[in-house]
Chains A and B, each alone.
Chain A
Amino acid sequence: MFTTLYRLIKTGFTNFLRNGWLSLASTIIMTLTLFIISIFLIGNIVLNQGIQAIQDKIDISVYLNDNIKGQTVLDLQKELSDNQDVKKVRYVSKDEAKQKYQEKFKNNPQLRESLDTSGENPLPASLEIKAYDPQKYNSLLPVFEKEKYKPIVRKVSYKDNKETIDRLVKLTQFIKTVGWSVAIFLMATSLIIIYNTIRTAIYTHKNEIEIMKLVGANPWFIKGPFLVEGIMYGVFGTIAALTALYILLKLLVNFLNSYFDTGDIGNNVFGFLLQNLGSLIVLMLGVGIAIGVTSSFIAIRKYLKKS
C-alpha cells in the first residue's frame, strides 16, 4: 500500500520534471488563475469593508416631543432594542443635542449663538437607531405609528432621508452584484483555460496511457501520477501567485500612499494581506489543488474508459 503510494508520488514528481515545458505552461496558467482569484477576493473584501463603513454611517433619529413621560420613551427604546433588525438604540437628551449642535457649528458663531439667544433649548431629545441592514429601516416605521407612541414622537428623520438611504442601499447592492459577477466570470474563464491546459498535457500522454494499460497497470496506478502532477500545479501556482501578489501590493502601497497623501489605504490593504496570510495560503492551496486534481481527474477519465 505504502510502496504503491510512494511510487505514484515519485512517478508524479519525475513526470512533472521530465515534462518541463508542459509543466511550466500548466503552472503559469494555474498561477494566473490563482492570482486573479486572490485579487478579486481581496478586492471584494476591501469593497465590502467600504460598503460596511458607508452602511454604518446610515442611521435614523426619532425626535421626541418635550415634556413627555419618561416611561413611554423607555418602552419605545426597549421595544426597538428587542427588535432583531436593530443593532443599537441610543437616547440623546436635549442637552446632549445642544452640545452636539454647538460642536457641529463651532466655526459658525452666528448659528451657534442663535441657540443661546433664544433662551430656551429648542432642540428635541431623540432616539438614534442603527439597524444591521439599512433596508430594514422601512419595517420599523409601523412601531412609531402605534397609538401608544404617537404622542411622544415628533418626527422621524427617515422620512426626510429615505431617498438618500434608498439610493445608497441600491448603490452598494449594485457594486456588490457587479463585483461578484465579474469575479465569477473571470474565475469561470480561468477554470476553463486551466482545464484545457491540463487536458492538452494529458492528451500528449495518451500513447503512454495505452502502454501502461497493456503492461497491466490498474486505473489508479495510471491516474495517480497525473493527480500528483495536478497537486503540484496547485502548490507551485500558489507559491508563484502569492509572490506576485506580495510584489504587486508592495508596489501598490507606495503608490496609494503617495497618491492619497492623507490616507493610508495602501498600508491597510497590505496589512490586511499580512494579517490574513495564513488563511489566504490555505485557501489558495485548497483552490489550486482542487482545480489541478479535478481537471486531471476529468481529463484522464476519457482514456481509462476502455479496458
Chain B
Amino acid sequence: MIYLEGVTKIYDKSSKKALDNISVHIKPKEFVIFVGLSGAGKSTLTKLITHEEEQTSGKITVGGIDYSKLKKKDVPYLRRKIGVVFQDFKLLTKKTVYENIAYALEVAGISNKTIRSRVPQILKMVGLENKGKDFPNMLSGGEKQRVAIARALIHDPKILIADEPTGNLDPKNAWEIIDLLLKVNEYGTTVILTTHNKEIVNTLKKRVITLKNGKLIKDQEVGRYTLQ
C-alpha cells in the first residue's frame, strides 16, 4: 500500500535533515502509529505521503503511484484518495459543517443528489447528525475533529492519515476520536496515526514506528511508547 525507500527530506534554507533515510512498508488495512517528540519528523512524513511536500531523495509509492512520476495536475486526484485529519482541524470557517463535508465531494464533481444522501450518512456515523447547519466556531474541539474525520472519510479513502488528531482535545474527547479511528480501520481503511500521547500508544497495542531527530529508531509489530 505505502512504500518509503531511503526517503530523506531537507527543507529549503536548512541544512538539517527533517527525515533521514527512512524506509517503511505499510500494508493495506494496517493501523500504524508514528511516535516521536516534536521535531522528530512525524508531520513531515505525513506531508510526504499527501504530497504536500516532496522528498529530497528516496522513493515513495502509494497505492501503486510513484510520486517521482506524479504530475502536478494529478495531485488533486491523489488527495481525494487519501483522507487527512489534522491537530488544528483545518475546517473552512466560512462554511457550515454540512458544507465543509459536501465541499470535498463537490471538488470531485459528485452530483448534488449523491451529496444530499452521503453527507447526512457520514454525519450520523461521526455522531453529528444535528450539527449540519452549525459553523465550526460553534463546535467544541472534539466535534470539530469529528467533522474533520467525516470530511476525510467522505470519499471512502483507502488511507486515512491522522496527524496528532488528539493534540488539542481533553482525554474524553481524545478517546472518542481514537475509537472512531479504530472503527474506520475495522471497515478496512489503512490508518496512520501520529501522536506523542503515551497512554493512547500503550493502550492500542498496534504497530508502532518511533522516530527521533528524523531517523527511524524502532519499528515494533505491537509497540509501546518508549521515548523519555
Contact = CB atoms under 8 A, between A and B. Distances in A.
Contact of B94 (A4, A7, A208, A214): A208
Interface stretch (B14-22, B69-77, B166-174, B214-222): B69-77
9 nearest CB pairs, A to B: A216-B79, A216-B80, A217-B107, A307-B75, A218-B76, A215-B104, A216-B76, A18-B94, A211-B90
Nearest to B71: A307
B91 interface: yes
Contacts of A216: 76-80, 104, 107-108, 155
Given A19-B94, A217-B76, A212 B109 contact: no
Given A214-B84, A217-B103, A218-B107, 19 more contacts: A3-B111, A15-B94, A18-B94, A19-B94, A211-B90, A211-B91, A211-B92, A212-B92, A212-B103, A213-B79, A215-B79, A215-B80, A215-B151, A216-B80, A216-B104, A216-B107, A307-B52, A307-B72, A307-B75
A26 B170 CA distance: 41
A63 interface: no
The binding surface of chain A is classed by DSSP as helix
Interface of A: 3-4, 7, 14-15, 18-19, 207-208, 210-218, 221, 307
Given A214-B52, A216-B107, A208 B76 contact: no
B50 A214 contact: yes
Contacts, number: 54
A206 to B, nearest CB: 12
Contacts of A207: 90
B90 A214 contact: yes
A19 B91 CA distance: 16
Interface in B81-105: 84, 90-94, 103-104
Contacts of B109: 3-4
